[in-house]
Amino acid sequence: MATHVKALTANQVKEKFRQAGKTISEWATENGYTRNEVYRVLNGQAKANYGKAHDIAVKLGLKPFVAMAA
């Protein structure tokens, strides 16, 4: 049985960073992304439907991870 995890909003993600005392730039570097790529996803400039932007959105919790059946 799959559990459903609710996606976070961009403001919730930013608040989690503030509470943890971590910058978005630090997170981006640790995860192999540029600061600009992450900010584009968080600010809604990148739709994050596929590719790197989608990966970022999933890792941040903005989109739920969905495993594709082969």
pLDDT at 44: 93
pLDDT at 1 over 90: no
User: Which range among 17-21, 48-52, 66-70 shows the weakest confidence by mean pLDDT?
Assistant: 66-70
What does 7-41 look like in DSSP terms, one character per residue? PPPHHHHHHHHHHHT--HHHHHHHTT--HHHHHHH
CB 52 within 8 A of CB 37: yes
**Segment 22-65, tens digit of pLDDT:** 999 999 999 999 999 999 999 999 999 999 999 999 999 999 87
